[in-house]
């Protein structure tokens, strides 16, 4: 089955890529989840606009991604959140919250879709968050959640 990716799928491709996958994977997972659309000759024109949007969000080269990684890893990011007894948060910290905290601490603006929160952040304290800047570059941000 030939599909056009609309969102980044780890291990498969980036938005705008045309990929060949097994029928069941495409029909039962990628298309219903909104990660891909069916490939058609008319849809091939959409890939150009998807790639242009991706290129505007992506870092141009490996050196600039490494520079941003150094800036992100150099400074700890502090985020205030409401917490109850025992340091348990009311809700969880989202990738959008992490982006806002990074920008507030003087860091570079990153796309929220590039942030990987491996386990939900639901407690006060220090947590690690991975930011995928480039296919070959990932930054680990130290996020300190404080009561607010």
The model's pTM: 0.64
State how far the Cα of 40 lies from the Cα of 116, in Å rounded to an integer: 32
Listed by start position, the domains of the chain span: 2-57, 62-147
Q: Which phi and psi angles does 89 have, rounded to 5°? A: -80, 155
Q: Is the predicted pLDDT of residue 57 greater than 60, yes or no?
A: no
What class, spelled out in words, does domain 2-57 have in CATH?
A: alpha beta
Alpha-helix residue ranges (DSSP H) falling in the chain: 23-25, 43-57, 62-74, 95-104
State how far the Cα of 148 lies from the Cα of 91, in Å rounded to an integer: 13
Query: What's the whole-number mean pLDDT along residues 16-40?
Result: 91
CATH 3.30.465.10 corresponds to the domain 62-147: no
C-alpha torsion sign, points 13, 63, 50, 120? positive
Q: Is the predicted pLDDT of residue 58 greater than 90, yes or no?
A: no
Q: Which phi and psi angles does 70 have, rounded to 5°? A: -60, -40
pLDDT at 54: 67
pLDDT, one tens digit per residue, over 61-100 is: 677 788 888 888 888 899 999 998 888 999 899 999 999 9
Q: Is the predicted pLDDT of residue 48 greater than 80, yes or no?
A: no
Q: Is the predicted pLDDT of residue 29 greater than 90, yes or no?
A: yes
């Amino acid at each position: 089955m030939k599909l056009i990716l609309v969102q980044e799928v780890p291990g498969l491709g980036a938005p705008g890529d045309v990929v060949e996958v097994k029928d069941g994977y495409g029909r039962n997972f990628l298309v219903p989840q909104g990660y891909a659309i069916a490939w058609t000759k008319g849809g091939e024109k959409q890939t150009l606009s998807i790639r242009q949007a991706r290129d505007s969000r992506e870092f141009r080269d490996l050196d600039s991604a490494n520079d941003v990684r150094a800036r992100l890893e150099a400074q700890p990011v502090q985020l205030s959140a409401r917490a109850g007894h025992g340091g348990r948060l009311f809700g969880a910290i989202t990738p959008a919250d992490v982006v806002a905290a990074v920008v507030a601490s003087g860091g570079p603006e990153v796309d929220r879709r590039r942030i990987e929160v491996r386990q939900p952040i639901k407690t006060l304290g220090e947590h690690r968050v991975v930011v995928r800047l480039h296919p070959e570059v990932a930054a680990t941000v130290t996020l300190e959640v404080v009561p607010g």
